[in-house]
Amino acid sequence: MTLTSIKTSGDKIEIINQLLLPHTTEFIEIDTIEQAYDAIKSMRIRGAPAIASLAALTIASHLSRALHSQTPPDWLSSPELLSAYVTPKLNYLYTARPTAVNLGAAMRRLKNRLRTAREEGKDARAIAQDLVDEGREIDAEDVARNKTMSKWGGDWLVDQVKAKGKDPEGLNVMTVCNTGSLATSGYGTALGLITYLHETKKLSRAFFTQSTPYHQGSRLTALELLTLNIPATMLCDSMVGSLFQHHDIHAVVVGADRIARNGDTANKVGTYNAAVLAARHNIPFIVVAPISTVDLDIADGSAIPIEQRPPIEARLVRGAVYPFTLNGQGVKEQATVMVTPENLESVYNPSFDVTPAELISAIVTEKGVAVKADGENAFDLSSVV
Ligand code: MRU
C-alpha cells in the first residue's frame, strides 16, 4: 500500500482525511474552492507542499470544468473577466493557513502565469488552459524534487558521519512532525531523506516525536514508517533530551514551512526544542525543503507569521476507541476525549516555532546542500534556490 494525501482522476480531486488517520481511511471529494480552503484550514490535509498542491489542483479543476462546460460562465469570455474572477480566489486560498509559504508561492506562480499569458495576447480560454496546466504541474513536480533533495541530504549526512570516522551503515535519525507522502504529493522531504537512507541500507532506525497536539508523529509518521517497513521508535515530545543522552543519534532531520533569507526556519512547534538539544549534543541538524519553502523576501525568522491554532485543539485527543478490532475497512468507532478540566480557558497553542539558523547544520533543497561559512551564524542560500 502507498499512502497518498491527494488522489486525482481527470477533474476529480479526493484527499485522505488526515484527522481520522491512522484508524480510518476516508477519502473526501474536493469539488469547490471553498471546500479546499476548509480542508486546509481544518487540517484535513496538512503539510506545506500538500496544501500548496491541493490549492493549485483545485484551481486547475475549477477552470477545467468551466472550459468543458456546455454553458461556459461569463468570466471565460474575456481575459479581463477571467483575471477579475481568478485573482481573488488565489488570494483567498492563500489565507487558509499563514505560515507555510509554499501555498503563497503556488498562488503567486498561478498569478504570474495569468499575467504572462495575458501579455502574450492569448484569449480567455487559452489563458484558463495555461492555468490548468500550471496548477497540475505544481502538484506533479513535487515527487521528483523530493527524491532529489532526499538523496542530496542523505549523501551529505553519510559523508559527515564518515568524516567523523563513524560507521555510515547504521544511522539513527530523529525527525519531528510528518513530512512524508501525506505531507507532500509523494515520498516526502525529511521523511524522504530517512526513506532514502533506508533504501540505500544506511539506516538503522528512525526516531520520531509524537508532535502533539495534532499528533502528526504518533498518527501519521508512525503509519508511514510502518507502511514502508522502516524500523522506527516513537518518543513523546518531552523525551528528546533523554533520547540524545542515552542513544547514539546521528542526525535530526526536519521539514520546513518557511525558511527566511538567513536560514532561520519555521517548522512544527517542538522543532526549536529539538535543535537546541541537538546543538548541546553535537548532533547535525538538517532542514530538508523545496525551493518554494524559501522566502527570500523575509530577512530573518522574526518576520515569519506564526499560526496560532484554536485552544480547544490542544485540550483534545482524538483516536479510535480502545480496545478495538482493526479490519480492512478501518475502525469506524472514533472518539474525541478532553484531557483538561472543562473550564480551562487559557492555552498557548502556536502551530510552529522558529529555529535560528545558528542551530542548523545544513539546509537541503532540490538544488543541493547549503552549509554556513566558518564562523557565520547565517546561511547564504543563493546556491540552493
Ligand atoms: O501543521 P502542519 O501539520 O501542516 O505542519 C507541518 C510541518 O510543520 C511540516 O514539517 C512542514 O510543513 C513540511 S512538510 C513536508
Ligand 1 and 210: CB distance under 6 A: no
Q: Is the pLDDT of residue 80 over 70?
A: yes
Instruction: For ligand 1, atom 6, name the residue with the nearest CA.
Output: 47
Average pLDDT on 234-245 reads 98
Domain boundary among 119, 142, 165: 142
Pocket test for ligand 1, best of 42, 146, 178 (most atoms within 8 A of CB): 178
pTM metric for this prediction: 0.96
Does residue 341 belong to any structural domain of this protein? Answer: no
Does residue 182 belong to any structural domain of this protein? Answer: yes
How much of the chain exceeds pLDDT 70, in percent?
97
What confidence tens digit (pLDDT) does each residue in 173-194 have? Answer: 999 999 999 999 999 999 999 9
Q: Catalytic residue among 257, 264, 295, 353, which? A: 257
- State whether 172 and 211 are in the same domain: yes
Distance CA 62, CA 130 (A): 13
- State whether 67 and 93 are in the same domain: yes
Q: If you measure from the C-alpha of residue 340 to the centroid of ligand 1, how many angstroms do you get, rounded to a whole number?
A: 26
- State whether 172 and 199 are in the same domain: yes
Output the pLDDT for position 333: 78
How many structural domains compose the chain? 2
**225 CB-near residues (< 8 Å, 6+ apart):** 191, 194, 206, 208, 232
Averaged pLDDT score across all residues of the chain: 96
Grid cell locating 252: 535530526
Distance CA 164, CA 218 (A): 32
Beta-bridge partners for 165: none
Does residue 378 belong to any structural domain of this protein? Answer: no
Output the pLDDT for position 325: 61
Average pLDDT on 238-252 reads 98
Ligand 1 and 183: CB distance under 6 A: yes
Ligand 1 and 189: CB distance under 6 A: yes
Looking at residue 117, which CATH number applies to its domain? 1.20.120.420
pLDDT band per the 50, 70, 90 thresholds, residue 321: confident
How many Å separate Cα 243 from the centre of its chain?
25
Q: Is the pLDDT of residue 47 over 70?
A: yes
- State whether 275 and 357 are in the same domain: yes
- State whether 118 and 245 are in the same domain: no
User: Residue 328 half-sphere exposure, CB side, CA atoms within 13 Å?
Assistant: 1
Does residue 167 belong to any structural domain of this protein? Answer: yes
Output the pLDDT for position 327: 59
- Range of the structural domain that residue 57 is part of: 6-142
